[in-house]
Amino acid sequence: VSPVVLLAAAKPLAREAVEAVAAACDELSFILKKLEGYKSPEELHKALPGSTGCIIRSDKADADFFDHAPDLKVIVRAGAGYDNVDLEAATKRGVCVMNTPGQNANAVAELVFGLLLYHARRRFNGCSGFELKGKTIGLFGCGRIAANVADIARGFQMTCYGYSRSGRCQHGTCSMLSSSDELFQRCDIVSLHMPSNAQSRGCVDREKLSCLKKGGILINTARQEVIDEDALLEVLAARPDLTYITDIKPSNVDKIRTALGEARFAQQVVTTPVKMGAQTLEANVNAAVAAVQQIAGYLFHGDNTYQVNVP
């Protein structure tokens, strides 16, 4: 019997990516079941029985999810961050969890510069802005996304520093600093590229935020949870020279707006309406097709490269 693969994405993929997933499933004789743009966990839970493989994005896969998936053997998060998956619950039920590292990294890196240029050129309002050439950018977290950011930064003739907890830079593309505080002190722009996990949650705290240089810019295309949002509010209010740029609206955005007032908020905070770092056709195709291939590799050959839970 052909294995059923469920593509469950509350935030739909590009149409071409879904077509590419369908073609890849066809080739592998998988039966593809699609659940896109669903509105409730119940809808998702109803679709799970019978599925051997599952592809998700930031969709929540908690213990309840796995309880509704008695036939599931492998779930792939089409993307990098797997903080939406309860790894322990998956392990308990013998389900392999994988991500697709690097497949959407360039999309996120390009958005960093899209947002940065939008701010640097005063939201295209015609007033004089500033150039990126000659500025220093600090990458907090030095995985594949940071490597893409560093590549683009070099094109702008920026100087690139990095800090990661392991002290390693996955691609050797920037000068590594030995402390994250130093990164905040030395760089004109700090861009966050760490995963959200027990070690990183709230790690951008009051102390680090206060270390930002005069006129400093903090960019967050990683996760809301890595910033202490109360401290962010306080530091933005105390320092009109700072800017916070993100595609993940802070959960206290209304409080920040009230504390700063409309005019300062417009100058100091840049947010997009939705999280959109990985929202490109290329990233959607790369991540989703890689997910199908990883499911096949696991089911047919036991290949667990990119498994992120304890087997």
Q: Which chain residues interact with ligand 3PG by CB under 6 A? A: 11, 57-58, 79-81, 104, 275, 277-278
The distance of closest approach from Cβ of residue 129 to ligand 3PG in the complex, given in angstroms and rounded to an integer, is 28
The distance of closest approach from Cβ of residue 42 to ligand 3PG in the complex, given in angstroms and rounded to an integer, is 21
Contacts of 99 (CB under 8 A, 6+ apart): 76, 77, 79, 80, 81, 82, 306, 308
The distance of closest approach from Cβ of residue 211 to ligand 3PG in the complex, given in angstroms and rounded to an integer, is 26
Residue with Cβ nearer ligand 3PG (51 or 103):
103
Residue with Cβ nearer ligand 3PG (198 or 263):
198
Residue with Cβ nearer ligand 3PG (54 or 132):
54
Measured over the CA atoms of residue 172, residue 177, residue 183 and residue 188, the dihedral's sign is negative
Q: How far apart are CA 213 and CA 190, in angstroms?
A: 10
Instruction: Give the CA-trace dihedral at 62, 68, 71, 73, to 10 degrees.
Output: 0
Residue with Cβ nearer ligand 3PG (6 or 132):
6
Which amino acid is it at 193?
H
Q: How far apart are CA 264 and CA 243, in angstroms?
A: 10
The distance of closest approach from Cβ of residue 159 to ligand 3PG in the complex, given in angstroms and rounded to an integer, is 27
The distance of closest approach from Cβ of residue 32 to ligand 3PG in the complex, given in angstroms and rounded to an integer, is 19
Ramachandran angles phi, psi of 186, nearest 5°: -90, -25
The residue number whose beta carbon is nearest to ligand 3PG equals: 79
Q: Largest alpha-carbon pair distance within the chain?
A: 64
The distance of closest approach from Cβ of residue 179 to ligand 3PG in the complex, given in angstroms and rounded to an integer, is 26
The distance of closest approach from Cβ of residue 258 to ligand 3PG in the complex, given in angstroms and rounded to an integer, is 28
The distance of closest approach from Cβ of residue 77 to ligand 3PG in the complex, given in angstroms and rounded to an integer, is 7
Which amino acid is it at 221?
T
Residue with Cβ nearer ligand 3PG (17 or 296):
17
Residue with Cβ nearer ligand 3PG (75 or 242):
75
Give the CA angle between residues 106, 131, 107 to the nearest 5°: 10
HSE-CB of 117 using CA atoms within 13 angstroms: 10
Residue with Cβ nearer ligand 3PG (161 or 244):
244
Residue with Cβ nearer ligand 3PG (58 or 200):
58
